[in-house]
Amino acid sequence: MANPSAFIRILDASAVGLSGLCLAHCLALPVVAAFLPVLGAWAEAEWMHLAFLAAAVPISALALVRSGGWRSPSVLGPALAGIGLLASGVFLAQSEGAELAMTVAGGLALATAHSLNWRRLGHRH
């Protein structure tokens, strides 16, 4: 790619977008499923959580490595916390409430990290 900065912007924006999708899945889909029961299977599908995690880790890592954001503690801290919380929600949560809390907190932390990285690089939202 000719402009690595554009590629990093795309990665950060993709990571924030994935975090938003994750939050929508966790918070909105169960409400929608109450009105459209066919969506209830998606609200409870464990493969969705694994898919979000499998997408979030490489995209986030690539964005933070390519941009140098991993060197900034204010970016790396929320990114690691976000990935850790997302993984904990998928693999360690003992209840649906704990899974929801970990996943929402992880998605927000990861979105924060990428927003800080975007701002650190001088990009306008």
pLDDT tens, residue order, the chain (125 aa): 456 677 877 887 887 777 777 777 677 766 766 666 666 666 667 787 888 889 889 988 988 998 898 899 999 999 999 999 999 998 998 888 898 899 889 988 988 998 898 888 875 44
pLDDT value of position 12: 79
Whether pTM > 0.85 for this model: the answer is no
Domain annotation covers residue 63: yes
Domain annotation covers residue 22: yes
How far apart are alpha carbons 7 and 41 in whole angstroms? 35
Say if CB 64 and CB 79 are below 8 A apart.
yes
pLDDT value of position 9: 77
Domain annotation covers residue 113: yes
Say if CB 70 and CB 81 are below 8 A apart.
no
pLDDT value of position 125: 46
Domain annotation covers residue 31: yes
Q: How many domains does the chain have?
A: 1
Domain annotation covers residue 125: no
Token readout for 37 is: 């029961």
Query: What is the domain extent for residue 72?
Result: 4-120
pLDDT value of position 41: 65
Token readout for 116 is: 């800080």
